[in-house]
Structure 1
C-alpha cells in the first residue's frame, strides 16, 4: 500500500487498543465470521478452496439470524465463512486431503486455534485477526461484481480479462490509493468526526491532476466512473468496520445522466469547493459520503506502516527522550503537537521533564526555532513546580528570552529584564518559528508589527543579530510587514545582514 506522493503523513489520534478491539469484535462481518467459526464442526462440509458447500449455506445463514430464503442471506454467510477461513478462525481440510477412508466429495471444517483469541487473546491479538479479515475484504472489493464477470465469459466459459478490462494489480493499487487519500484527508482535518468526505471529492483526488485548472469532460467522465466503482467498494468495506458510508442515492442513479454525474465530480476537483459546478452541499451528499472509522484509521495506518510510509500516531513518543519529542512534533499541526506533548509529560516528574525539554530546545540549526516554539507550547500548562528549571536558563543566549516570557506570564517577581540583544534575537527566533510552523499566514504581519513597533531603531540594529535565520526573517518582513516604511527598512536591514554573513 502506498500514500505517494505523501510519504510522511500528519499524526492521528487513535483510541486505545482495547477500545479498537471492541470495535473490531462489533464489526458485523467479523462478528458473523466468529459465529460461523463456533458453528463449524463434524457436520460442516467444504468444497475445494475451503468454500462452504452450497447445500450448507442456508443453514449458515440461519445461524447468523439471516433469512435463508432471502437471496442475500446465503451470500452474506458465504462472505463471513471466507473471512473465518482466511483469518484462521476456521481450519478446513479440502476434499482429498484426508485419509483413504475420508469423504472424497467434500472436505471438513472445525474451529481454528485462533478462535480462542476472540475471547482469551490480548487486544493486539484481536486486532491482528481483524487486520487479516480486512485483507480478505479488500481483496474481494477489488474484484468486479458478478454481472461484469458473467458478461466477460468467453465461449469456453473462461473470463476474458481484455473484455472485462480488469487488471487485479491495478484494481488493488487503485483501492489502496483511495484509502490512502481518505486517510490523508482525515488526518489533515478535512475528514473530521463531524464531516465525512463527499464521494466526488475522493474520486477526483484519484483522477484529476493536481495542476489541472478546469477539468475536461473526459476527466470528469473518469471521475464519474470512479465514483460508481467506489460506491460498490465502500458498500463492501462498511460491514468490516472500516468506514461509515452513505451510498449514492439509488433514485439519483436512475435519474442522473452522465453530465450530472460529471458536475458532481467537479465538486471534488482541485481548487473546487463542495458546492462548485452548480452542485450544492445537499446535492453532493446524494452522490455518497464516506468517513473512516477510528478502527478504519487504525487499519489503514497499519497497512501504510507496513508499506514503509511514515504515519505517526499521537502517544507513540511517550517513552522517547525530549529531543525525539521536539524533533517529531516540530512538524505536527499545533493541536496534535499539544496532545503529543501532554502525553509525554504525563507520568513524568515535572521539573526534570521541563529541564529535559529546555535542553532539547537548544540549537542553531534550521529546526531550532520551531523546537523552541514547541518547547514553549509544552511549558504553557506547567505550574509553579517548573519555575526552578525555567530560572536555570535565564542566562542562556537561546533560552533566556523564552524563560523570561514564561516567568512574566505567571507574575513571578524579580524577573531580570532582557537586554536589547536578547530582545532582538528572540524576535528573529519567534518569527522564524512561526514561518516554519505555518508559513506566511495572514496573522504573521500583525505579529511582526507587535514585535517591532515598540523598539525605536529596530531595523537599524536587528541585522547584527547572530541568528542563522536573521536574513530570511528580514527578507520576509520586507515583503509582509503591514507598515510600508517598516517594510522598506526591513529590506535594507536584510541586505546588510546578507552582506555581513557573506
Structure 2
C-alpha cells in the first residue's frame, strides 16, 4: 500500500489466539493448507507452477468444490481451487522444483517440474498464533493482488465487427486498480473504526453506496450532482466484483448487490439513500471487515505509514504518551484506553503520574490536563492523597479541588478568584482546535455558560496569566451568540495581547 496520512480511531482487537483460530478457518487459507498436505509427497506442475489439468480436478475434489463425477459442487469450483493452489505457492506452503531447462522446453499445461509441501507448512503446524496470522495476511495479500489483476475473460469483449479487443489496449491498470482497492478497504476500516469509537458494540456492516460515496464524493459537496451519483454507481459495481472475490479470504463479510435490483433499475444506483429504509439500502450491498479483517487492515495501514492504533497499545506507556494520544481519540475510545492504562497501576501512583504529565505551558498542555482530569475521574478514594498534594499548584490545583469536591472530601480549601479564572481559561483552551470544528454548538454553549456564571467575566479574564488567554478570549468573541458579549470578549483579547507584549 502507498503511504497514507490517515490518523484513525483505535480499534478493539481479539486476542492473537482467537484471531489465529479464525485465520485457520478462513476458506482460502483452509483450502491452501489442505492442498499443501495433499501435495505430499509431490505433484507435477507446469513451468508456471500451476497444477496440471488432471491434478487440478483431483484437487477440486479434495476440497469438496467438485464431486467425483466432475460436477461443480460450488460455482467456479475449479477457479477457487486454482486460487487456493496459487496462495499455497505464494505463501511457501508449497515449494516448487522446476529445472530451468524444463521450463524453457515446455508449454503451459505441460509437466515441467514438481511441487511438494514447503517449510511454511511445518512452521504453521507448530501452532504459533503469530506465525498463523502472518501466513493468513500473506494469503490475503495474494488474493488482493489477484483481485486487482485484469479479468482476461471479461476483457475479451467482442466488437460489432467480430474482432476482439487486444488486452494491451484494454483500459485496465493493475497498479491503479490495486490502489483503488486499497483505498476502499482503508475507508471501510475508517468507517468501522469510527463506528466502534462511538460505543462498545461491534460495528455493523457499511452500505456499499456509503463506501462508494466515500471514494467519490468530495467532503465539501453537500448535494452530489447527477454525474457524481453516476460515478458512485460505477464504483459500487467495481467494489461488488472485488468483494465477491475477497469474501473467502476471511478479510470481510459481504452481502452482494441484489442482481434483481440491478435489472429492475437498469444498473442505476440508489440515488438519495436518505429516502430508502434499511432493507432497501441492504439490497445495494453491505460489507464489513471481520475481526480478522480488522487485524489485517490495521497491519497493512500501519505498514503504509498511517496511524492505526488498537485499544491497549498505551497500557504500558508513560502517562505523558497516554495523555498526548487521548487528546485525538473519540470520547468512548479515550475512556476505554484510560481504563486499560489504569488497570495495571496502583491508584495513588497512577494519579501522581497523570498529574505530573499534565503540567506545562505549551500549546498542548490544556488538552493534556483535560485528558488527565477525565482519567482521574475513574479513580477512587485511594487516589485522594495524590490530589491533595497539588492543591497549591497553579496548573493543577483547580482540577484537584474539582476532583475532591465531587467526592465530598472534607477540608478542601476554596479556590481564590485567580485560580478559578485560570482553570476557566485552561478548560476552554483544551476544547479549542478540533472540537471547535466538530462540535461548535457544544463549545458555544460552554462559552455562554461560563460568561453567565461570572459577573464581569471579561474584565477579569484578560488579566489571567495563562499562555492561551488571548487566544481563548478571541475564540469566545467568535463563539458567543450575544453580540455585546462577543464585543467585550474581543476587547478583552486585545488587552490580553497588549499586556503580554509589553
Report the Cα distance in structure 1 between the residues aligned to 2:118 and 2:188, rounded to whole angstroms: 34
| Paired position in structure 2 for 1:163 | 169
1:326 to 308, 323, 326: 323
Q: Does 2:233 correspond to 1:234?
A: no
SS in 1 for 2:453: coil
| Paired position in structure 1 for 2:474 | 475
| Paired position in structure 2 for 1:127 | 133
1:78 to 67, 79, 82: 82
Contact 1:314 1:339 in 2 (8 A): yes
- 1:461-490 CA-to-partner distances (Å, cap 9, x unmatched) read 111011122122222222333555544433
SS in 1 for 2:432: helix
Contact 1:350 1:385 in 2 (8 A): yes
2:190 to 177, 184, 189: 184
SS in 2 for 1:189: helix
Report the Cα distance in structure 2 between the residues aligned to 1:345 and 1:213, rounded to whole angstroms: 43
- 1:227-263 CA-to-partner distances (Å, cap 9, x unmatched) read 11110100111111111111000111222224x32xx
SS in 2 for 1:366: coil
- Deviation, structure 1 residue 142: 0.8
SS in 2 for 1:110: strand
Distance 1:404 1:190, change over 3 A: closer
> Where does 1:236-315 land on structure 2 (aligned, <5 Å)?
236-258=245-267, 260-261=268-269, 264=270, 266-267=271-272, 274-275=273-274, 278-315=275-312
| Paired position in structure 2 for 1:50 | 49
Report the Cα distance in structure 2 between the residues aligned to 1:294 and 1:500, rounded to whole angstroms: 56
Contact 1:361 1:371 in 2 (8 A): yes
Unaligned runs of 5+ in 2: 104-109
SS in 2 for 1:45: strand
Contact 2:45 2:111 in 1 (8 A): no
| Paired position in structure 2 for 1:271 | none
SS in 2 for 1:453: helix
When the two structures are aligned, how many residues end up with a matched partner? 483
Distance 1:213 1:409, change over 3 A: closer
SS in 2 for 1:91: strand
Report the Cα distance in structure 2 between the residues aligned to 1:136 and 1:376, rounded to whole angstroms: 47
**CA RMSD across the alignment:** 2.6
Contact 1:245 1:290 in 2 (8 A): yes
Report the Cα distance in structure 1 between the residues aligned to 2:23 and 2:486, rounded to whole angstroms: 58
Q: Does 2:414 correspond to 1:411?
A: no
Q: Does 2:231 correspond to 1:222?
A: yes
- Structure 2 length as normaliser, TM-score? 0.89
- 1:69-101 CA-to-partner distances (Å, cap 9, x unmatched) read 1152222211111111111111122365899xx
- 1:422-469 CA-to-partner distances (Å, cap 9, x unmatched) read 000101111121224622432223333443433332222111011122
SS in 2 for 1:188: helix
1:337 to 326, 334, 352: 334
Contact 2:192 2:204 in 1 (8 A): no
| Paired position in structure 1 for 2:363 | 366
Contact 1:24 1:295 in 2 (8 A): yes
- 1:355-403 CA-to-partner distances (Å, cap 9, x unmatched) read 1111110111111111011101111111111111111111111000011
- Deviation, structure 1 residue 195: 2.9
SS in 1 for 2:116: strand
Contact 2:405 2:412 in 1 (8 A): yes
Report the Cα distance in structure 2 between the residues aligned to 1:17 and 1:43, rounded to whole angstroms: 33
Distance 1:363 1:465, change over 3 A: same
| Paired position in structure 2 for 1:87 | 91
- Deviation, structure 1 residue 344: 1.6
| Paired position in structure 2 for 1:203 | 212
Q: Does 2:136 correspond to 1:111?
A: no
Report the Cα distance in structure 1 between the residues aligned to 2:164 and 2:261, rounded to whole angstroms: 35
| Paired position in structure 1 for 2:453 | 454
Report the Cα distance in structure 2 between the residues aligned to 1:484 and 1:213, rounded to whole angstroms: 29
Report the Cα distance in structure 2 between the residues aligned to 1:80 and 1:112, rounded to whole angstroms: 15
Contact 1:198 1:289 in 2 (8 A): yes
SS in 1 for 2:61: helix
Report the Cα distance in structure 2 between the residues aligned to 1:204 and 1:380, rounded to whole angstroms: 40
SS in 1 for 2:458: helix
| Paired position in structure 2 for 1:141 | 147
Report the Cα distance in structure 1 between the residues aligned to 2:76 and 2:417, rounded to whole angstroms: 77
SS in 2 for 1:442: helix
Contact 1:148 1:164 in 2 (8 A): no
Report the Cα distance in structure 1 between the residues aligned to 2:414 and 2:24, rounded to whole angstroms: 60
Distance 1:3 1:98, change over 3 A: closer
Report the Cα distance in structure 1 between the residues aligned to 2:52 and 2:347, rounded to whole angstroms: 63
Report the Cα distance in structure 2 between the residues aligned to 1:401 and 1:61, rounded to whole angstroms: 71
Report the Cα distance in structure 2 between the residues aligned to 1:403 and 1:38, rounded to whole angstroms: 64
- Deviation, structure 1 residue 170: 0.9
Report the Cα distance in structure 1 between the residues aligned to 2:76 and 2:328, rounded to whole angstroms: 48
